[in-house]
A and B are shown apart, each in its own frame.
Chain A
Amino acid sequence: DIQMTQSPSSVSASVGDRVTITCRASQDIRNLLAWYQQKPGKAPKLMIHAASRLQSGVPLRFSGSASGTDFTLTISDLQPEDLGIYYCQQADSFPRTFGPGTKVELK
């Protein structure tokens, strides 16, 4: 199975800050990576697919990038509604595997 790791496990930032979350795959996943946002008590929400493609309706302050097996989710201008836990997930092979999550909190 492909292992996904994320860092940091949590980040505390202020409104307007730039937040960066990193995800690493244990092997080449051909940029087949998705990012999800999850709020308490809710199902995950797809934010980005194919490592860098914004899902329809997702604000442009979100962006994704890839370099080999390293992936980055950036929130360029943190807003209160962006708080939650962010998970990466590889879509290269089954079983699909998720990173452990990064909690984004307000400072």
Chain B
Amino acid sequence: QVQLVQSGAEMKKPGASVRVSCKTSGYDFDSYYIHWVRQDPGQGLEWMAKIDPSGGGTDYAQRFQGRITVTRDTSTSTVYMEVRNLRSDDTAVYYCARPWGYCTGGVCSDAFDVWGQGTLLTVSS
């Protein structure tokens, strides 16, 4: 079955970097974008970035631009997100998610139907 399995919890100091992985399986890796969504403690959901695994093209939310990089390894069907210059307010659960496409009324879009289990990142001195 379709699965997204993320790397384990991380604890980092302010100013450090972290790389979170999202290993996919059960489907054609090249055929679906992978997105990253973060959830601050006890808070809502925030979209961060997406990558097109087939060509590697990326798109980032403006507030993360320049501080995160999303890459992929097609040989292992894994997507990575690196966050640099960590701050205490980066403490959050980070999810990868795969969208499921649909069309309605002549317009096509998607929704996140498969999610990783989440990776808790704690940033503290």
Contact = CB atoms under 8 A, between A and B. Distances in A.
- A interface majority secondary structure: loop
Interface stretch (A17-25, A67-75, A97-105): A97-105
Nearest to B108: A32
Interface in B42-64: 44-47, 50, 59, 61-62
Interface residues of B, number: 25
Contacts of B104: 31-32, 50, 53
Interface residues of A, number: 25
Nearest to B64: A95
Contacts of A91: 109-111
Contacts of A96: 35, 47
Contacts of A97: 47
A44 B112 contact: yes
A87 B45 contact: yes
Interface of A: 30-32, 34, 36, 43-46, 49-50, 53, 55, 87, 89, 91-92, 94-101
